[in-house]
Chains A and B, each alone.
Chain A
Amino acid sequence: GQQLNQSPQSMFIQEGEDVSMNCTSSSIFNTWLWYKQDPGEGPVLLIALYKAGELTSNGRLTAQFGITRKDSFLNISASIPSDVGIYFCAGQQNEKLTFGTGTRLTIIP
C-alpha cells in the first residue's frame, strides 16, 4: 500500500528550540493534515492543508502543502514542554487517511 515517509523518526531538543519535520510520498494527495498523539490517546488535529503551495499557521505551528502535492512540512517554533509527543502527517485521498511513520519529539530538560 501507499507509504508516507516521515523524517526525522525522533528528535531530542531543548525547550525554546525550533523544530522541523517533513513527509514525502510517491503518491499525490488532495489534502495534507498534521496530527499530534500522546501515548494511549487519539490523534489531535493540528493543521489541515487543502491547496498545493498553501502555507498555514496555527499559533507556533506552521505547515506547508508541497507544490507537487507529494510532500508537506511542519515547523514548531519556540518549543515548550507540552509539545512532547508523536507527530503524524496524514495524506487524504477519497475517504481514508494514510499516515506517516511519525516523529517522536522529546524535550531535554
Chain B
Amino acid sequence: AAGVIQSPRHLIKEKRETATLKCYPIPRHDTVYWYQQGPGQDPQFLISFYEKMQSDKGSIPDRFSAQQFSDYHSELNMSSLELGDSALYFCASSLGTGIYEQYFGPGTRLTVT
C-alpha cells in the first residue's frame, strides 16, 4: 500500500539558510500534519492542514511556515535556520480531520551546521 512520501530524506544546511521540506500524503488523504523530533525525544506537533486550510497549530517557530496545495501535498518552509533546528521532521496524513488515524512518513533528517 502507498505510504506517506517525504523529500528530501536528508538535508544539510548552514545557519541562517533556508530549507523546504515536502510531504506527499497517502492517496485520498486530505489532512497533513508536521512533527519535529529532536534526538532522544518524542515527536512534537508543529502544524496541520485540512483541505488547504490550517487546522491546528502547535509549537511552530515564527521562522517556519507551511502550506497545503490543491493536490494535498504540503511544504514546510524553514528560514533563518538555527543549530537547534537540527532534528527529524515527520509528516503524517489522515483521511479526514479530528478523530482519524495518522500515518507517518519516513521523515527528513535536517542537520544545521
Contact = CB atoms under 8 A, between A and B. Distances in A.
Interface of A: 1, 30-31, 33, 35, 40-45, 48, 50, 88, 92, 94-102
Interface in B58-113: 58-59, 88, 90, 92, 97-99, 101-107, 109
Nearest to B106: A42
B55 A95 contact: yes
Interface in B1-37: 4, 31, 33, 35
A45 to B, nearest CB: 6
Interface of B: 4, 31, 33, 35, 42-45, 48, 50, 55-56, 58-59, 88, 90, 92, 97-99, 101-107, 109
B42 A95 contact: no
A94 B104 CA distance: 17
Contact of A88 (B31, B42, B102): B42
Contacts of A50: 99
Given A1-B59, A40-B109, A88-B42, A97 B102 contact: yes
